Amino acid sequence: MTLIERLGLCALHRLDPEKAHGLSLMALRAGLAPLPGVVTSDRLKTDLAGLRLANPVGLAAGYDKNAEAVAALMRAGFGFVEVGAATPRPQPGNPQPRLFRLTEDRAVINRFGFNNEGACAISARLALRPKGGIPVGLNLGANKDSTDRAADFAEVLATCGPHIDFATVNVSSPNTEKLRDLQGRAALSALLAGVMEVRAGLERPVPVFLKIAPDLSPDDLADVAEVALASGISGIIATNTTLSRDGLHSAHRSEAGGLSGAPLFEKSTRVLAQLSQLTEGRLPLVGVGGISTPEQAWEKIRAGASAVQVYSAMVYEGLSLVPRLARGLDALAAQAGFARIADAVGSGRGDWL
């Protein structure tokens, strides 16, 4: 981390977290953040459900909710970027304050509630993004007051599908009441069937991923794996934020919402490994939750992830974390004797079961 980045983070941490979030997006759009461009090597190049990645480090959904800074994020060193979540209609989300730094725990709690400008506005921005760069995907959500939330996911894909490289069905956010109920076998099967029907009608069908919660029971996780395999989706993202508060020390530890960051690492990695075992390599997995070092990203790969995503750690490590993770993965794979990151996927899964 450079001195300038360190000073910038210190300044942002003096502000309300949501205001700081908005200012960081403004800085990206204004070109004030140094961007390394694509970070890649022969060892880092990865195929994820047909997406050709320069490296396996992606941006998780939630940072650029409205696709406002896509062009800059495509030059930040990521191998792929996910924006959103988008809902069919604009919605304000939950009342503020709704974002909390847990500095002592290197964690974040949020209860945003899918605040966004709606699928039409987001689709228009995505249509203007630079073409030919890294893959850009969209997290699909449902309106809080919707009478048919399952249909909302399909509607967002129909609206935005022509302008994205992949889509993620997000039924695992804890901040929209009863949304996680859609992870049940019957509800999830019906929801995914509707999304896949829309996908089939797109001029350019895109990979569809499912993002799951880290708080599923073993039986629930087995059901999710079975439904995912039967549905024809392209992969699973494990995991979203957790409702657990085990071992926290920060003053904001009792705030409602989803917990992300360092405390989620072990829990999310164990779910990832279990999912890898359940799917037996038939679906590519994306590991997310608590990654802040190359070693942690490497553990996700070894547990079964073909690629990883980060977000909360950037609150504490800055955007320079991204190329640092990619280059660190390259070095760790070389040290372990792997010619390609893909060859290491699942090689240490047993350590997490």
| The pairing of beta strand 51-53 with beta strand 46-48 | antiparallel
Hey, is 91 helix, strand or coil? Answer: strand
Reading the block at residue 129, the tokens are 């993004």
Which residues are tagged catalytic?
173
- Say if residues 294 and 325 touch (Cβ distance below 8 Å): yes
Length of the chain: 353
Task: Lay out the sheet containing 99-102: strands in order across.
Answer: 99-102, 107-110, 258-261
- Tell me how crowded residue 26 is: count the other CB atoms within 10 A of its CB: 11
Taking the C-alpha atoms of residue 284 and residue 226, their distance in angstroms, rounded to an integer, is: 14
- Please give the torsion angle defined by the CA atoms of residues 76, 44, 128 and 22, in that order, rounded to the nearest 10 degrees: -30
- Say if residues 325 and 57 touch (Cβ distance below 8 Å): yes
